[in-house]
Structure 1
Amino acid sequence: MTTTPELSREQRDAAMVERYADGETLDAIGQSFGITRERVRQIIAKVGGTNAEESRKKRAADREALVQDSYRAFLFSYEELARHMARRGCTRVDAINRLESLYPGINIELAEDALRSSDIVFDSSQTDDIFSKEAVAAGIWYLLGSDLGLPPDREWAAVHLELSLMSELRGALEAAEVTPDDVATILGVIGAAQKHVEENPSASITAQRYHRLRGELIPGLGLVSRKGSNAWPPTGQTLMKRFGSWNDALEAMGIGTTRQGRPKGLVKFTREDYDNAVRNYCSAARAANTKATNAGYDAWARAERAEGRERPSIAAVRGIYGSWSNAVRSVQE
């Protein structure tokens, strides 16, 4: 316990008031004087009264203002560069690592806090960096085969699956502690699905069905990362991000689609309508000094429609861009 030099009662009480006003806690003050926090509170209330509390709040506000000034100074120097990196698909961590490498004197803690406080939308999905496009597509093959109840066809897989794909999936699945037998079964089902589509071109799977099956099947295989997010098979949003849309992914793989009419869901709105809606919402969020979130867009779009201004739903926006982060990044360009 830290003690203080011998002081008169008046000096001690004045010191308590000063330290409290400067932001120190009641516990810390009490420990240094060898008294309880409640006794410190009583002394401060008696000696300092409302002046001590007001001074404490003012100094806290001054400190917060200094923090915000440091954020603004950092963003003045690096915001445009950070936005450019975000548009290129960098995560916040990637952006900070790049800045640290190229600007050695940068304060990493300040960079993290300043970028987090900004409205810059960085990529939060790591799946693109982890898996190849072929491995991402293999998630559809696996869940299509599972949906059809196909037994594993290891012979077809051994002959037709690319060795690089088999090695990539095997490494990822074994790292997730999937058993070798289950890995072999998954690869066999992927092979069976590919063979089935060759023989039955009309076979297909919807994005909704994929999402439902993914939630049902992967827990049983233990395909959940320690952070709680499922790595493989990837989410439907990741698939749409990689291929452009769900139907584009199916077409690229040679799987039948249910595409009708105009592509990528542009039935009611044009792509310009989507861009304008996201851009207008982001402008409204900045004006309100709030972050542009998918929940915020949903509430904003509902309010707009209530006023007679048609806006795409958040589900439609995700379908067009692949994810909310992609939507915001696209209008930042």
Structure 2
Amino acid sequence: MRITNRAQRLRVEALLRDIVAQREAEPVTLPEVHAVVSETLDAPIPSAQLVREVMRTLSKGESRFVRIDRDVYAWVGHGETPPLPPAPPHVSDMIERRLSGATLDEIGSLHRLTRERVRQLIAKYGGPSAAEVAELQRVRTEIAERDRRARVEPLIRQALDGGGAMTVSDAAEVAGLTSSETVRYWPIDLVHLRLRPAGNNEERWSDEAILESLREAAIYEFPLTTKAYASLLASGQISGPSVPRIWQRFGNWSAACDAAGVVPGRAVRNNYQSKWTDQDLLQIVRQYLLDPSQPNSAHKFDDWRRQFAPDGPSFQTIRNRFGSWTEVKKRAFVKEENVE
């Protein structure tokens, strides 16, 4: 019996509706539907073009029969979102690269497309947005940072445990790390063991340079007192090391002035004996540095002392004995086995 075109179309439409409805919410493509129709219906076998036309007609007249891409349709429930179309292989590659952190320009260069076209294709097939990519990158960076800290921080702790207080460069050398890594991952609870490297101002003054500074100061002041010398330094009229540095180098002010051939402002009591031993001074420094509520800075020491150790030595006393704050911290936490 000869089947008219209209009858053939109605047969295809009925079968096609059943095929798609049975796979509700699942995308079906023209080749898939045409293959099923060809196997099910008797001759004459409908052409792919006829199946395509019927699918288009159904999508316009049936609200639940939704076109989601070229020659891709799905049967969806009322109010439901149509499923995403399956991504072609080249778009799947774009999405995978985007999720891995590649930029649109990099992907476009690889596939010979503009960045805008890449963005459109990724969006069309459910790929990540720019905000989602940024969030993924943030999470990856955070995880990498946490993992790196977990590996590096124990190395720094081990170096400090073996050598006591030290500079960043020394700790980096012992731990086998770069200085930048050592600074970045220095344990917060061991900040009191971090020494600042000696500045040029402390190291560049030879004995002769110090004596020359005293001679220059004596041109302005006679006799030369520590107060007058410090005032000349502060005003910039002379250049030279601090008074504590001079005391540390020569023992006392009079000895330094005598070596420079300068008359000192007042005699220093050579028989003066401090009531504080070195260990007394270092012990109170350790208490201050280990106080978690304090910033560990030199200029805050006296504030802390007045509150927690009113009978203790002043910062000036400690500095006069040991010199720089870096040297004080180093001595306070030096390991006993390193002390000769």
Give me the TM-score of the superposition, normalised by structure 1.
Answer: 0.51
Q: Kindly report which structure 2 residues correspond to 1:52-201, keeping only aligned pairs within 5 A, or say none.
A: 62-79=143-160, 83=164, 86=166, 92=168, 95=170, 99=173, 106-114=177-185, 118=191, 119-148=193-222
Task: Show the counterpart of 1:299.
Answer: 303
Measure the CA separation in 1 of the matches of 2:300 and 2:254. 28
Q: Shift of the alpha carbon at 1:141?
A: 1.8
Measure the CA separation in 2 of the matches of 1:248 and 1:281. 33
Q: Deviations over 1:68-125 (max 9, x none)?
A: 33441331453356647x4xxxx655x379x3xx99x743432454569643213432
Q: Shift of the alpha carbon at 1:67?
A: 4.5
Q: Determine whether 1:259 maps to 2:263.
A: no
207, 215, 233: which is aligned to 1:214? 233
The unaligned stretches of length 5 or more in structure 2 are: 1-103, 106-114, 335-340
Q: Shift of the alpha carbon at 1:127?
A: 3.4
Give the share of equivalent positions with the same residue, in percent: 16
Matched residue count = 214
Measure the CA separation in 2 of the matches of 1:131 and 1:300. 32
Q: Shift of the alpha carbon at 1:294?
A: 0.8
Q: Shift of the alpha carbon at 1:143?
A: 0.7
Alpha carbons 1:245, 1:319 under 8 Å: kept: no
Measure the CA separation in 2 of the matches of 1:316 and 1:120. 22
The unaligned stretches of length 5 or more in structure 1 are: 25-55, 149-202, 220-231
Alpha carbons 2:160, 2:171 under 8 Å: kept: no
Distance 1:283 1:262, change over 3 A: farther
Measure the CA separation in 2 of the matches of 1:77 and 1:320. 30
Q: Shift of the alpha carbon at 1:274?
A: 1.8
Distance 1:77 1:275, change over 3 A: closer
Alpha carbons 1:71, 1:113 under 8 Å: kept: no
Q: Shift of the alpha carbon at 1:214?
A: 1.6
Amino acid at match of 1:212: S
Distance 1:291 1:280, change over 3 A: same
Q: Determine whether 1:318 maps to 2:327.
A: no
Measure the CA separation in 2 of the matches of 1:234 and 1:60. 46
Measure the CA separation in 2 of the matches of 1:10 and 1:295. 62
Q: Deviations over 1:311-332 (max 9, x none)?
A: 2222332233222222212212
Alpha carbons 1:23, 1:60 under 8 Å: kept: yes
Alpha carbons 2:252, 2:268 under 8 Å: kept: no
Q: Deviations over 1:112-159 (max 9, x none)?
A: 5456964321343223532321212221221122223xxxxxxxxxxx
Q: Kindly report which structure 2 residues correspond to 1:26-45, keeping only aligned pairs within 5 A, or say none.
A: none
Root-mean-square deviation over aligned CA pairs: 3.8
Q: Determine whether 1:282 maps to 2:282.
A: no
Distance 1:245 1:61, change over 3 A: farther
Alpha carbons 2:212, 2:260 under 8 Å: kept: no
Alpha carbons 1:245, 1:320 under 8 Å: kept: no
For 2:199, what is the secondary structure of its paired residue?
coil
Measure the CA separation in 1 of the matches of 2:141 and 2:283. 40
Compare relative contact order (CA 8 Å, sep 6+) and give the higher one, 1 or 2: 1
Distance 1:60 1:298, change over 3 A: farther
Amino acid at match of 2:229: Y
Structure having the larger proportion of residues in strand: 2
Alpha carbons 1:122, 1:325 under 8 Å: kept: yes
Q: Shift of the alpha carbon at 1:273?
A: 3.1
Distance 1:18 1:217, change over 3 A: closer
Alpha carbons 2:210, 2:240 under 8 Å: kept: yes
Q: Deviations over 1:238-265 (max 9, x none)?
A: 323433454553455565443238637x
Larger Rg: 2
Measure the CA separation in 1 of the matches of 2:242 and 2:202. 11
Measure the CA separation in 1 of the matches of 2:260 and 2:125. 82
For 1:263, what is the secondary structure of its paired residue?
coil
Alpha carbons 2:288, 2:304 under 8 Å: kept: yes
Measure the CA separation in 2 of the matches of 1:242 and 1:92. 26
